[in-house]
Amino acid sequence: MPRESTVEEHRSFRLLLEAMSRPGTVQPLGRPEDGHRGALERLAASLLDAETTLAAWTPELEPQARALAAAHGCRLTAPGTAAFVLHTGPDLPASLGSLNAGTAEMPDGSATLVWLVEALDTEGGLHAWSGPGIRDVLHPRIEGISPESWTEIVMNTADYPLGVDLVFLDRLGQVMALPRSTRIEKGSP
């Protein structure tokens, strides 16, 4: 593997770890001109291998999921059994509970939903985030998620340590994470 690729994969992985350890913060994963595609490719290069599984939850992402699986040697599977699930659009096609939420014995075996959204910002959102990695309370803004989907997201974090981790990628190639350990209080419009 070329050194440049290895350095870039490590950089991307560190940025994802920073986003996961500091929920609600925005990290520059990709280049703005590459948009979703570039950020998703960088994320995939640092996470996918022959031991991982991938699924597209949104039909329009199926070609991209196949290409990522071929490029990184991971296996494609159904969303309910995948380690990583790709999604785009404001609405969830089914309940987050239909994805792997882990088990009491292995809560860390849960899925990670990678959601392509419009825009991310560290402030200006309606929901209050608190918990590990957050000093006091944050109100991050994620454009491109419907109110119904937010209801699902709030419910997902209620069963910690079970639940799905969420990673958001925006059109500028930025990443924000919402680990299942984060508490969310629903705001009012």
Ordered by start, the domain boundaries in the chain are 3-185
The residue-averaged pLDDT of 29-43 equals 89
pLDDT in tens, 42-80: 999 999 999 999 999 999 999 999 999 999 999 999 999
d(CA 19, CA 177): 5
Report pLDDT for 189: 47
**pLDDT digit string (tens) for 80-97?**
999 999 999 999 999 999
Given the structure tokens 């500028």, which residue do they identify?
172
Task: Report pLDDT for 17.
Answer: 95
Instruction: Identify whether the C-beta of residue 100 lies closer than 8 Å to the C-beta of residue 110.
Output: yes
Q: Taking the model in full, what pTM does it have? A: 0.94
- Give the span between the Cα atoms of 37 and 47, in whole angstroms: 15
pLDDT of residue 53: 98
Alpha helices by DSSP H, listed for 48-185, are 62-72, 147-156
Q: How confident is the model at residue 119 (pLDDT cuts 50, 70, 90)?
A: very high
Could you tell me if residue 102 is left (phi over 0), alpha (psi between -120 and 50 degrees) or otherwise beta?
left
Cα distances from 129 to residues 68, 73, 181, in angstroms, run 32, 36, 10
Rounded-to-integer distance, Cα 81 and Cα 185, Å: 29
Domain covering 3-185: architecture: 3-Layer(aba) Sandwich (3.40)
Tokens of 66: 């196949």
